[in-house]
Amino acid sequence: MAGRVLITRPIPEPAPTLIAGVADRVVASSEDRPLSVEELRDRVGGFDAVLCMLHDPVDASVLVAAGGCKVFANMAVGFNNIDVAEATRLGILVTNTPGVLTEATADLAWALILAVSRRVADGDREMRAGRFPGWGPNYMLGGDVTGRTLGLVGPGRIATAVAERAVGFKMPLVYSGRRESPALDALGARRVELDALLAGSDFVSLHVPLTAETTHLIDARALGLMKPTAYLINTARGPVVDEAALVRVLKSGGIAGAGLDVYEREPAMADGLADCENAVLLPHLGSATFQTRSNMSRIAAENVIAVLEGRRPPNLVNPDAWRGALPG
Ligand code: GLV
Ligand code: GLV
């Protein structure tokens, strides 16, 4: 069985070629921008599979408009943009691209850890603005990395990859999460309650998926538990942090700084955040390497093709929808 596939934005190879080799028809949006929910609703009808992006709001109305569509394959590890419960109810499969972006995202978390503590971004601004007065004993001092405690919120693959890199920096490791992580335990990490992690860490790095439970997990109260010398790193999802509260804490010196790759209302950011010199601000680049995006494209295509061929997709996030799809 072949089928019709919609790709919601121009993406790197190999997905377009792989899918074209199997499907009867591939429609790829030619506009390099996110589609609005209205545009998605207008365009999703009549396809067997939709390959979508993390910014596509695949809500109930889009899923209903997609009619007989069998799968929404998100080209991302996160799938908070999709109403998975509604998809499952409608018997629509949802897939993601785990694993292939773990190392790139961990690398970027480390770029932020080093950049914010050692003042890489504001130092670069000093040079470009011609403000470098010459070496000074008190000039642009930052925080230490080596030997400082790293707290990982969430015990998943990306947290583990960040922890592996921390071994070279001789950092004591703690993590929080509902489950023990044998991989983190093997690196010498200690599982603690979130409050203890916030109070005891010099770097707090977020690695939880965005759910109702993790929305504003890091709020004013949580930020208030952090040491004034500590740094917050977010490469997960913006809404995990109350961004307005973070701006207040950055401005009042409640924490030393923040390294952010994600924002509550991307592409916008909270009022005042851009003025915080103690924040390093990146435009959602966690998985943005040529090789990683190509791997994500391939995995998304493999999920689409499996469904078109009547096989269970390798990265199914709602197995109940698959059981529902079985005859009898
Ligand atoms: C990136 O943010 C992803 O979820 O893949
Ligand atoms: C995502 O890949 C995670 O488990 O952190």
What is the rounded distance in angstroms from the CA atom of residue 323 to the CA atom of residue 328?
A: 10
Protein residue with least CA distance to atom 5, ligand 1: 76
DSSP 176-196: E-SS--HHHHHTT-EE--HHH
- Read off the amino acid at residue 26: V
Q: Extract the tokens encoding 196.
A: 């203890």
Per-residue pLDDT of the chain (328 residues; tens, 9 = 90+): 579 999 999 999 999 999 999 999 999 999 999 999 999 999 999 999 999 999 999 999 999 999 999 999 999 999 999 999 999 999 999 999 999 999 999 999 999 999 999 999 999 999 999 999 999 999 999 999 999 999 999 999 999 999 999 999 999 999 999 999 999 999 999 999 999 999 999 999 999 999 999 999 999 999 999 999 999 999 999 999 999 999 999 999 999 999 999 999 999 999 999 999 999 999 999 999 999 999 999 999 999 999 999 999 999 999 999 976 655 4
pLDDT of 321 reads: 96
User: In which residue are the tokens 């890199």 written?
Assistant: 165
Q: Which two three-digit tokens encode residue 146?
A: 């080596």
According to DSSP, the residues that pair with 260 across neighbouring strands are 234, 281
Catalytic residues: 237, 266, 284
C-alpha 131 – ligand 1 centre gap (Å): 37
DSSP string, 237-302: -GGGB-HHHHHHHHHHTSSSEEEES--TTTT---TTGGG-TTEEE--S-TT-SHHHHHHHHHHHHH
Sign of CA dihedral 119, 122, 128, 131: negative
- pTM, whole model, 2 decimals? 0.96
Q: Where in the chain is the domain with CATH 3.40.50.720?
A: 4-99+290-325, 102-281
Query: 320: CA distance to ligand 2 center in Å?
Result: 21
Q: Which CATH architecture has domain 4-99+290-325?
A: 3-Layer(aba) Sandwich (3.40)
Map residue 51 onto helix, strand or coil: strand
What's residue 245's pLDDT?
98
CA distances from 140 to 22, 109, 132, 231, 306 (A): 57, 22, 10, 16, 54
**Helices vs strands, H then E, count in the chain:** 13, 12
Q: Are residues 44 and 65 in contact, defined by beta-carbon separation less than 8 angstroms?
A: yes
For a ligand 1 pocket test, name from 53, 95, 105 the mutation site with the most ligand atoms within 8 angstroms of its C-beta: 105
78 CB within 6 A, ligand 1: yes
Architecture label for domain 102-281 = 3-Layer(aba) Sandwich (3.40)
Q: How far is CA 125 from CA 129, 132, 134, 277, in A?
A: 6, 9, 15, 10
Atom of ligand 1 nearest to the CA of 75: 5
Residues with Cβ within 6 A of ligand 2? 77, 98, 102, 156-159, 207
Nearest to 11 by CA among 38, 25, 29: 29
CA distance 84 to 78: 12
